Copies of this chain bind each other. A is one copy, B any other.
C-alpha cells in the first residue's frame, strides 16, 4: 500500500473533528501523527457519544491512526516542551480560538519557520468575527449551506453529519500537503500558515449561489430533493418502506428510465420529450415515477434501474452498507484494532491507490499511550525529567 507521506511528522493539537480529521488524513497516507492532549481529560472527542461501555465510538473512528502524548499547554513548562516537540515536526494542526496559540507562546512566530501550520477555526484567523465561538452548525449556517438544505416551506435542515468540520479538515489537509510539496522543492524550506475557516469551506462548495445572486439577483432557496433545472430527479418511496434516489434528467437517462418502467410511450410524450418540458411538468412526471416505485420493493426498483443503466441507488442505511457486496468486495469497511474495544468495523481510509484495498489504520490510542516514546525517545527528556513533569501534571 502506497504511503506517499511516509517520513512526515504531524502534531495534532486539535479537538473534535476538523483538525483531528485533517491530521488523521495525512496519517492515513503515511505520516506519523502525534496527538497532543490535555493530561486531565484528553481530547473532548473521547467524551462524545455514542458509547460502547462508556467508550466513545466517534473517538474510536476519528482518533485512529495516531499516537497520543499528554501535555498541558496552559503551563509554561508544557509550552516549552511543545516548542521542543515542534522542532521535530513538519506539520502542526490546531483549532483553538484565534490568538490562543500566541497567548501560549506557541504561535507561528514562536515555532520553527519551516513548519506547515494549519489553523482551523469557525470564522478564520482575522476579520471582525474572528473571536466569536463556533462549531460545525455555525459553519453551515454562516457559510450558506444550511439555508439551501431541506424542503421548501419548512425549516432548513443540517446535513446529517458535521460537514463543515469534515470539509475544512480535508481542504486543510490538501493545503498542508501542497505546503509540504513546496517546502520540499525549495532550498530555503519555506513554511506556511494556513487559515481554514469552517464557514469558508462551506462557502467554497456553494456552486453557483453567489454568482446567481450577483448576476441575476437570485437569492437561492432550498428545493428539497429536486434541482430546479433538472427533471426527473428525486427521492422516491418504494413499496417496501425504503426509498430510492433516481437521477434521470438528461435525455438518454430519461429514455433508459422509461424503458426500466416499461413505459416506451413517455419519451415521445410532448410534455416530457425535452428537458425543459420535463421540468415544466415535473409534478405529473414524478407522480408517474412514484406510482411505479411505490408498487415495487426498493431492491426490485434498483434491479430494473441497474438493468437499464439508469443512475439510481437505494438510500442506504448502516445495515445496508454492512451487507452490500460491492462495499465488501472493495474493502470499504475495515476492522480497526481498538486498544479498548478490540476489532471495530469502520470506514476505510479514502481515497485508495487503484487496485489496492485500503489498509486498516491502527486503533485510537489510549490517553498518553506514547508519552515515553515521544517525550523521552524523540524529544530527549531523561527519565527523571519525564517523571517530574508527569508528577507535576504537565505531561
Task: Give me 5 other A-B pairs in contact (C-beta within 8 A), A137-B245, A209-B318, A220-B317 excluded.
Answer: A49-B229, A60-B211, A132-B309, A156-B243, A210-B318
Interface string of A201-242 (1 = CB under 8 A from B): 101111111111111101110111100110001010100000
Name which of A188-196, A266-274, A386-394 contacts chain B: A188-196
In the bound complex, CA of A133 to CA of B310 (Å): 7
Q: Is the CB of B229 within 8 A of A313?
A: no
In the bound complex, CA of A184 to CA of B310 (Å): 42
Contacts of A235 in B (CB 8 A): 141, 146, 155-158
Q: Is the CB of B346 within 8 A of A210?
A: yes
Q: Is the CB of B203 within 8 A of A318?
A: no
Contacts of A223 in B (CB 8 A): 160
The answer to whether A76 has its CB under 8 Å from any CB of chain B is no
The answer to whether A295 has its CB under 8 Å from any CB of chain B is no
Q: Is the CB of A163 within 8 A of B160?
A: no
Residues of chain A touching chain B, judged by Cβ–Cβ distance below 8 Å, are: 2, 4-7, 25, 29, 48-50, 52, 56-58, 60-62, 108, 117, 119, 122-129, 132-138, 140-151, 154-163, 166-168, 170-175, 177-182, 184-185, 192-197, 200-201, 203-216, 218-220, 222-225, 228-229, 233, 235, 237, 243-247, 253, 306, 309-322, 325-326, 329-330, 332-333, 341, 344-355
Q: Is the CB of B138 within 8 A of A313?
A: yes
Q: Is the CB of B245 within 8 A of A146?
A: yes
Q: Is the CB of B149 within 8 A of A318?
A: no
Within 8 Å by CB of A315, from B146, B168, B355, lies B146
Within 8 Å by CB of A145, from B134, B161, B167, lies B161
Contacts of A146 in B (CB 8 A): 235, 245, 315-316
Q: Is the CB of B122 within 8 A of A311?
A: yes
A228 to B: closest C-beta gap in Å: 8
Q: Is the CB of A353 within 8 A of B194?
A: yes
Contacts of A162 in B (CB 8 A): 207
Which residue on B lies nearest to A325, using beta carbons? B128
In the bound complex, CA of A197 to CA of B151 (Å): 28
A375 to B: closest C-beta gap in Å: 28
A264 to B: closest C-beta gap in Å: 20
A152 to B: closest C-beta gap in Å: 11
